[in-house]
Structure formats: structure tokens, C-alpha cells
């Protein structure tokens, strides 16, 4: 599977066109008295958020708006917000980060509905009326889990099974701090399920992946830096991060495995952000056609069906729908079930099987990381 590198000339002039576009999607004429927006994001999305902020500042709604950014590992940033880090617009790696902030009373419980009530996007519409690419509410970008390998792919890596071959050294972030790490490990598990293996066999495969892992940096962005500095020969990563590295001229190749997992990244206005007109306007912009088009040019799969229809040929396609699973496909309860089952601190086993945990699967398997002979 290959990527098209589109130059997107229409976005170069986004600043000039933005005023007209903004007026058509319901942005306020100005951001009112509060002009600074505190933006918190997971590590990989940092450059994209800066690009979005600059494009927004070129619109009527973004005039005189300034931004203060805090970008880092998703779980770390979540903890920072709980501990008092100012946050108006929050773009984190996965759903559970938002659930933590809801429990800590920093984000309203109905945050996912902001997409409809404020962003003008309704993910619940289906069929010909569908507005979004997928029906998960509150998600601002989609991506997939891919492999980054050395330029020319000297090991000939094509699929997940080859990651446990002799001589393969994997880099993937630490699931204790990074949302990217959780997506990566779930994708490995999902790929084994997709290729007709049992859940126990999928756990065994996940163990092998961790045994071949030689570095677990704290975030997705530091994992990329570690790989580019020479550690390992396969990096498991976000598709968008891989595309950005390729466009930056880094000596890498991208391998899209035949089976992988859809990544869905949430966006929310915090309780303080809802009271900040500039933050509300920026939130709306991120869900607008120009905002989503900019994300698309930066390697993200748009959540807007209209934008995705124009950009999907820039991304590798999958032979069957079942080759790109979602978290809900893995568990009908989604992240509320996935998190304790795979990443919870409590490790439990059934009486019949003392080797395959029921909960805390990855927590248990982490003890085998780096132990490949």
C-alpha cells in the first residue's frame, strides 16, 4: 500500500480564504473579550494543532486570538490537567483520557455531544444523510496503526507476523504514559483476531511483540525520535506521524499492514473552555471543512465524510471492511471495557487458565518486554 503525497495548493492560501469560509460555518464575527486559548494535546498532534491555530488566526473569528499550548504524552497531559494545568480545548489520544477528566470535573459529561451542539456535526446520522466518516461522537481525527521501517524496508516487513521474526527490534511507546502505545498494542492483538486466531493466541502474540520490543519511550513523538536516532528497526506508530516523517525527508519507509486498527482521537471543550468564546470558535473551526481539510493535508483521515470523500485516495485502502477494526469491534463496550481488560492495574486470571489474564492483560505481559532471545 502506498501513500500519495498531495501538495494541497488550495490550503496555502487558507489565510486569505478563511474569512469567507468562516462566515459560512457559523463562527462568531470575533472571539470577544477572552482572546487566549489554552490548548492541551497528545504528543504527536502538536505540529498539526499549531498549523490549525495559525490557519484559524487568519480567519475573522481568529483575529487577536492567542494560544498557549501544552503538548505531551496523552496520559501525562491528562494527569497534568487533573492537577491544575489550564486547558480550554483538549485533544487527547483516546476516549479514556476524557473519561478521567469528566470524573475530575474538568470536562462536562456530555463532551462528545459538543460535536453536534457546537461543531454542527452529527455523527449519528446514517446512510445518505451521514455527516461523519464513522459514527463515534466527539472524535476530531482518525488514523490507523502502521509500521515505520528503515528506508527501503531492508527486512522486507509486510505484516504483523513478521514483527516477531529473528532480528526484529521494535520501538513502541510505554502504555503507562502514552495513548499511542495503547493503540499500537491493541492493533497487534486485533490483527491476530482478524486472522482467525483465538483470544489466547492473540495474547501469546502480544507477548511476542513485547519480547521483541527494545525501547518504550514515554510518548509517540519521543518514540519516533528514538527510532530516527538509530534504535530498533521497526517503529509501531500513528499513520499521520509516519506521513509527517516521510514528508519531512526522514530516511524511512511506511508499511501499512493488511490488518490494523482505526485510531479515533477525541476533542473536547473543558468547563472553562465553554466559557471562553475564542475557545468555542476554535473548537468549531477544527470540525469545519477548512479545519478538517488542513488535518487531511497533514496525514489525518478526516472525520467529515465530505472531506474524506475528497482525500481518501491519498491514503492506503483496505481490501475488506473487517481489515480495519475499531475498538468497539474488539469489545462492544468500547474503551470502558478495553482499558481495564488490557491496561488495568488489577491482573486477574480464571481458575482454568493461570497464564492468560482476564484483566490487566498488557500490564501482565509488560514483564516480558525486551526478553526476546
Q: What digits encode the pLDDT tens for the residues 50-102? A: 999 999 999 999 999 999 999 999 999 999 999 999 999 999 999 999 999 99
In CATH terms, are 9-140+263-314 and 143-262+319-368 the same topology?
yes
Residue 33 pLDDT level (bands cut at 50, 70, 90): low
For the chain, what is the mean pLDDT?
91
Give me the phi and psi of 223, to 5 degrees please: -65, -40
Report the CATH architecture of 9-140+263-314: 3-Layer(aba) Sandwich (3.40)
- Tell whether the model's pLDDT for residue 180 goes beyond 80: yes
Could you write out the DSSP letters of every residue in 307-359? HHHHHGGGS---SSGGGEE-HHHH-TT-HHHHIIIII-S--B-BTTBSSS-SB
Q: Is 90 helix (H, G, I), strand (E, B) or coil?
A: strand
Domain boundaries defined on the chain: 9-140+263-314, 143-262+319-368
Which residues, in sequence order, are bridge partners of residue 303?
none
Q: What is the mean pLDDT of residues 147-158?
A: 98
Which run of H or E residues covers position 320? Answer: none
Among residues of the chain, what percentage have pLDDT more than 70? Answer: 91
Q: What is the mean pLDDT of residues 107-134?
A: 96
Q: How many CA atoms lie within 13 A of 126 on its CB side?
A: 3
Asked if residue 59 lies in contact with residue 30, where contact means CB atoms within 8 angstroms, the answer is no
Report the CATH architecture of 143-262+319-368: 3-Layer(aba) Sandwich (3.40)
CA dist 15 and 11 (Å) reads 8
What confidence score (pLDDT) does residue 91 get? Answer: 98
Question: In this predicted model, what pLDDT tens digit does every residue of 195-239 receive, in sequence order?
Answer: 999 999 999 999 999 999 999 999 999 999 999 999 999 999 999
What confidence score (pLDDT) does residue 2 get? Answer: 56
- Tell whether the model's pLDDT for residue 25 goes beyond 60: no
User: Is 0.75 topped by the overall pTM?
Assistant: yes
What confidence score (pLDDT) does residue 5 get? Answer: 45
Amino acid at each position: 500500500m502506498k501513500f500519495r503525497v498531495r501538495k494541497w495548493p488550495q490550503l496555502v492560501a487558507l489565510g486569505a480564504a478563511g474569512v469567507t469560509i468562516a462566515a459560512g460555518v457559523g463562527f462568531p464575527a470575533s472571539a470577544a473579550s477572552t482572546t487566549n486559548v489554552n490548548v492541551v494535546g497528545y504528543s504527536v498532534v502538536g505540529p498539526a494543532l499549531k498549523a490549525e491555530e495559525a490557519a484559524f488566526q487568519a480567519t475573522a473569528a481568529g483575529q487577536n486570538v492567542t494560544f498557549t499550548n501544552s503538548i505531551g504524552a496523552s496520559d501525562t497531559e491528562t494527569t497534568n490537567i487533573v492537577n491544575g494545568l489550564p486547558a480550554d480545548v483538549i485533544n487527547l489520544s483516546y476516549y479514556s483520557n476524557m473519561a478521567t477528566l469528566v470524573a475530575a470535573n474538568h470536562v462536562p459529561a456530555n463532551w462528545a455531544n459538543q460535536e453536534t451542539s457546537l461543531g454542527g456535526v452529527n455523527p449519528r446520522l446514517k446512510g445518505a444523510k451521514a455527516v461523519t466518516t464513522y459514527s463515534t461522537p466527539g472524535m476530531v481525527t482518525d488514523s490507523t496503526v502502521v509500521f515505520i521501517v528503515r528506508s527501503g524496508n531492508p527486512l522486507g516487513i509486510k505484516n504483523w507476523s513478521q514483527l516477531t521474526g529473528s532480528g526484529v527490534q521494535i520501538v513502541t511507546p510505554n502504555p503507562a504514559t502514552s495513548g499511542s502505545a495503547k493503540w499500537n498494542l491493541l492493533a497487534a492483538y486485533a490483527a491476530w483476531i482478524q486472522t482467525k486466531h483465538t483470544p489466547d493466541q492473540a495474547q501469546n502474540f502480544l507477548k511476542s511483540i513485547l519480547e521483541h520490543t527494545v525501547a518504550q519511550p514515554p510518548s509517540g513523538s519521543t518514540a519516533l525520535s528514538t527510532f530516527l536516532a538509530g534504535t530498533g528497526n521497526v517503529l509501531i506508530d500513528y499513520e499521520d506521524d509516519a506521513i509527517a516523517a516521510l514528508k519531512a525527508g526522514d530516511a524511512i519507509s511506511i508499511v501499512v499492514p493488511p490488518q490494523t486498527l482505526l485510531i479515533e482521537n477525541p476533542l473536547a471543550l473543558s468547563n472553562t473552555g465553554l466559557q471562553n468564546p475564542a475557545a468555542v470558535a476554535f473548537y468549531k473551526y477544527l470540525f469545519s471543512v477548512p479545519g478538517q481539510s488542513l488535518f487531511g493535508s497533514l496525514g489525518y483521515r478526516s472525520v467529515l465524510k465530505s472531506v474524506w470523500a475528497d482525500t481518501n485516495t491519498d491514503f492506503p485502502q483496505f481490501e475488506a471492511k473487517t481489515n480495519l477494526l475499531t475498538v468497539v469491534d474488539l469489545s462492544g463496550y468500547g474503551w470502558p471495557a478495553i482499558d481495564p481488560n488490557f491496561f488495568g492495574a488489577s491482573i486477574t486470571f480464571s481458575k482454568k487458565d493461570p497464564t492468560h489474564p482476564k484483566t490487566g492483560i498488557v500490564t501482565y505481559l509488560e514483564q516480558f518486554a525486551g526478553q526476546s532471545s
